């Protein structure tokens, strides 16, 4: 993990006190079921910064922490592909940006709001 990811991960630890599990460096192939007709089978090698799971290890959402490298054309293209894959697999993906303070309370609040959206729909 990068230094930014390590710091962000420490802030995410608070959500574990609410019964959630945070796992860093999640490979898409580990959370997306491969099907013979799945159009992204060869692209599931990509890693996501963090996965949030319930206490039974059911995936709730994925988190990407974007730093300035995500502005580069090749990285931006990769990010769009990851977003497309997650949308196709119906996996919630949220983004945080290192250019913002990302205080612990904000991070936790935003994640909990995203989880609430799932329960309402």
DSSP 8-state code for residue 45: T
Give 8: exposed, middle or buried? Use CB within 10 Å, 0-12, 13-18, 19+.
Answer: buried
3-state secondary structure 75-90: HHHHHHHHHHHHHHCC
Write down the pLDDT at residue 114.
Answer: 94
Give the model's pLDDT for residue 67.
77
State pTM to two decimals. Answer: 0.86
Residues 95-106 as b/e (b if ≥16 CB within 10 A, e otherwise) read ebebeeebeeee
Local confidence band at 77 (pLDDT 50, 70, 90 cut-offs): confident
Q: Is 25 in a helix, a strand, or coil?
A: strand
What is the rounded distance in angstroms from the CA atom of residue 67 to the CA atom of residue 11? 17
46 contacts 82 by C-beta, under 8 angstroms? yes
Indicate the pLDDT class of residue 73, thresholds 50, 70 and 90.
low
pLDDT in tens, 10-54: 999 999 999 999 999 999 989 987 664 466 667 788 899 999 999
Residue 79 has pLDDT above 80, yes or no: yes
The mean of the pLDDT values for the chain is 87
* Whole-number pLDDT of residue 33: 75
């Amino acid at each position: 993990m990068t230094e930014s990811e390590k710091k962000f991960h420490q802030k995410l630890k608070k959500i574990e006190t609410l019964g959630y599990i945070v796992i860093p460096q999640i490979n898409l192939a580990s959370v997306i079921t491969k099907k013979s007709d799945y159009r992204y089978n060869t692209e599931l090698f990509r890693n996501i910064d963090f996965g949030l799971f319930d206490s039974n290890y059911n995936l709730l959402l994925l988190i990407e922490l974007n730093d300035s490298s995500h502005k580069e054309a090749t990285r931006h293209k990769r990010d769009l592909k990851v977003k497309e894959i997650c949308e196709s697999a119906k996996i919630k993906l949220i983004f945080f940006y290192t250019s913002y303070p990302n205080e612990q309370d904000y991070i936790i609040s935003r994640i909990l709001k995203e989880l609430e959206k799932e329960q309402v729909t």
